[in-house]
Structure 1
Amino acid sequence: MKLKITAGTLLLLVIFVLTIFGQTLPNEKVIFSFDTQNGKTVTLSKDKKGRYLIYRFGTKNKTEFEFPGKSKSSWSAFTYSGWLRGGGVANAGIDLNYVYFTSDNFRYVIYDTYFAEGDKKSIGVKVINLRSKSITNIPGNPATRKGTLSGFREDTCITHGDELFD
C-alpha cells in the first residue's frame, strides 16, 4: 500500500511538529533563543548537520515570521559581526555580537551585547526600516536566554561583516 502525502498534509504535519516542539524542529539545534518582553520568542537555529540556518519569531504555538527557509544557501543570507575588548571596567571592556539579515526592506539585527562599565547586558532584535531609517527595538528577557551568538566568531559557514549596531 502506497501512502500519498499531499502538500496540505505536509503543511499540517509541519504545523503539528512546530506546535509540539515550539519553534525548533527535531532535526535542529538552537544556537540562540530568548523570549521578548511582550511574550514572543526569538530563535536562531541550525540543522544538526549544518544544512541550514533559520530565524523564527512568534509564540510556541505560532511562528509569525521565519527567514529564509531550509536550504544550504540560507547561511549566505545571514551576516555575523562583533567586537571583543577585554580588560573589564579598567579598559571599558565590551563584547558585542550581532547576526543580521535583510527581508523586504527591513534589516533584522539579533543582538547579544555586554558593556563592562555599568555591567550592562542586553539581548533582543532591532528591526531597521531601510527606507525611513527608523529603528524598532524588541528587547529580550535575559532570564529566558539560551545559547550565544559568540560562537559565530570562528564559524566559516556564515558571512562576516564589520557593521556594529551599538
Structure 2
Amino acid sequence: MKTMVSILFLTTALSATAQSNSGLCDTTEKLLFGFETKAGKTLSICLATDSSYIVYRYGAKEKVELEYPADKRVKPNDAFKYRWYSRGGGAANLAMHDGSLSFEINEIRYEVFDSWSSEDNARSVGVKVINLKTKKETVIKGVKPVGGLISLQDFLENPF
C-alpha cells in the first residue's frame, strides 16, 4: 500500500511539474519563453513542434484570456515584431541583453520584454500593454521566467 501511495504521489508531482514547465502550450507545442505574474496568471510563447507557428497565450490553464494570433496559419514574421540585442562585457562596458516580442490588436500593443544586466545581475521580464489611442501604459511584471526571448532568434527576423 505504501508503495502504491508513493507511486501515485510521484506521478502526480511529475505531472504537475510537466504542466508548469509547458506553461499554456498544448501537447503539439514547445514552450520557448514564459513566466508567471504576481497575480497568478501565466504568459507563454509557444512554438509548434513543426516550427510552423508561434503563439502568445496569457491567462490560466483553465481559461486562456488572450491568444494571438487566432489563426495559426499566419507566418510568425507577419504576426510579430521581434527585437533582440546582446552585448558581451569587458573593461569598457557591462554585459547585457535586451529583447522584446510585440504585436497589436485593436489599437492595443502588447510588448513582451526580457532584459538582463551584469551590473546587478538582475533579470526583468514582463509584458507592457499600451493603448495606442490614449498612450496609457500598463506593465505586468513577470516572476519565475522559463526560457528566454533569445530562443526566438532562430524563428523570427531581428532588425539588430
Residue 43 of structure 2: aligned partner: 42
CA contact (8 A) 2:34 2:146 kept: yes
Equivalent residue number for residue 103 of structure 1: 105
For each residue in 1:3-39, what CA deviation from the matched residue of structure 2 results, as whole angstroms up to 9, or x when unmatched? xxxxxxxxxxxxxxxxxx8621110111101101111
Residue 90 of structure 1, CA deviation: 5.1
Please give the alpha-carbon distance, in whole angstroms, between the structure 1 residues aligned to 2:31 and 2:47: 7
1:84 aligns with 2:99: no
Deviation at 1:74, TM superposition (A): 4.0
Q: Percent identity?
A: 34
Provide structure 1 residue ranges, at least 5 long, that are not aligned to the other structure.
1-20
Matched-pair contact (CA < 8 Å) for 1:55–1:66: yes
1:56-67 matches, within 5 Å, as: 56-67=57-68
Q: CA deviation at 1:68?
A: 0.7
Counterpart check, 1:149 vs 2:149 = yes
Q: 1:80 to 1:41 in 2, by over 3 A?
A: same
Structure 1 residue 124: deviation in Å?
Answer: 0.6
Q: Secondary structure at the match of 1:72?
A: coil
SS in 1 for 2:44: strand
- Comparing 71-80 with 60-69, greater Cα deviation is found at 71-80
Question: Which residue of 2 is the match for residue 14 of structure 1?
Answer: none
TM-score of the pair, normalised by structure 1: 0.75
- The alignment yields a C-alpha RMSD, in angstroms, of 2.1
- C-alpha distance 88-135 of structure 1, shift in aligned 2 (>3 A): farther
Runs of 4+ with deviation above 3 angstroms? none
Aligned to 2:4: none
Q: Do 2:23 and 2:34's aligned partners in 1 also have CA atoms closer than 8 Å?
A: no
Number of residue-to-residue matches in the alignment: 139
**Counterpart residue number, 1:9:** none
* Cα pair 1:122 1:140 within 8 Å, conserved: yes
If the length of structure 2 is used for normalisation, what is the TM-score?
A: 0.78
Change beyond 3 A, Cα 1:77–1:98: same
2:67 partner SS:
strand
